[in-house]
């Protein structure tokens, strides 16, 4: 019976500490009115928080730049296009460098296809998000559709109906011949 009282006393002491200590901690924390001030303090060295990023300008996200970068695959291994990797994966150091190269080629007066061709010359066709639409690559674009049409045209009836008919035939009992009178088995 003493063990039960010990448990009750320990439980009561824990609840008392929780009731007294928890509100004191909640009062000590205040919400920051500004991100760089308040109880959490001021961030004195932003470089310690991660890789410093160059400020984004309007030129970085023009429709022409986005169209070019969405055609190029980032070479960091993420399998994303340069624009998506650059704007979502802030740990990647490859896509910002590729973006700077796109901007440099744009500053030289090159058009979108010329910039893409420059990347293909340096990195090969694998840098493209989609294979070029000429030569043998056309088979990748048209063969799935052609195979679906050939398969649909080759069937006289849908596969489901023929399977249903076969399963009904398998379940139907076969008629048995009537026993012949006068024959007995040994």
Report pLDDT digits (tens) over 92-108.
889 999 999 999 999 99
In a domain, residue 86? The reply is: yes
What pLDDT is recorded for position 1? 46
Q: Enter the DSSP assignment of 80.
A: -
CATH of the domain at 103: 1.10.8.640
Question: Is the model more confident about 17 or about 8?
Answer: 8
Extract long-range pairs of 43-46: CB within 8 Å, 24+ residues apart.
none
For the chain, state the CA radius of gyration.
37
Which range is least confidently modeled, 2-11, 41-50, 85-94, 142-151? 41-50
Q: How far apart are CA 116 and CA 127, in angstroms?
A: 9
What pLDDT is recorded for position 92? 87
In a domain, residue 61? The reply is: yes
In a domain, residue 58? The reply is: yes
Coil/strand/helix, residue 72: strand
In a domain, residue 77? The reply is: yes
Please state the domain count of the chain. 1
- Give the mean pLDDT of 71-93: 89
Domain of residue 105 covers 53-127
Whether pLDDT at 77 is above 80: yes
- Give the mean pLDDT of 53-79: 86
In a domain, residue 93? The reply is: yes
In a domain, residue 168? The reply is: no
Length of the chain: 186
What pLDDT is recorded for position 39? 52
- Give the mean pLDDT of 127-145: 79
What percentage of the chain exceeds 70 in pLDDT? 61
In a domain, residue 151? The reply is: no
Q: How far apart are CA 61 and CA 151, in angstroms?
A: 45
- Give the mean pLDDT of 145-158: 75
What pLDDT is recorded for position 155? 62
In a domain, residue 155? The reply is: no
């Amino acid at each position: 019976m003493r063990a039960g009282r010990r448990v009750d006393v320990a439980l009561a002491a824990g609840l008392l500490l929780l009731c007294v200590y928890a509100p004191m901690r909640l009062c000590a924390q205040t919400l920051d009115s500004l991100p760089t001030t308040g109880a959490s303090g001021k961030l004195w060295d932003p470089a310690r928080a991660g890789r410093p990023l160059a400020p984004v300008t309007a030129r970085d996200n023009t429709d022409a730049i986005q169209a070019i970068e969405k055609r190029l695959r980032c070479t960091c291994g993420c399998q994303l296009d340069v624009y998506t990797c650059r704007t979502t994966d802030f740990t990647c150091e490859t896509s910002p460098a590729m973006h700077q190269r796109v901007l440099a080629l744009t500053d030289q007066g090159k058009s979108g296809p010329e910039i893409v061709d420059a990347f293909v010359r340096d990195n090969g066709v694998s840098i493209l998000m989609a294979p070029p639409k000429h030569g043998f690559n056309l088979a990748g674009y048209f063969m799935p559709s052609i195979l679906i049409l050939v398969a649909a045209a080759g069937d006289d009836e849908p596969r489901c109906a023929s399977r249903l008919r076969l399963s009904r035939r398998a379940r139907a009992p076969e008629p048995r011949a009537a026993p012949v009178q006068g024959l007995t088995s040994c």
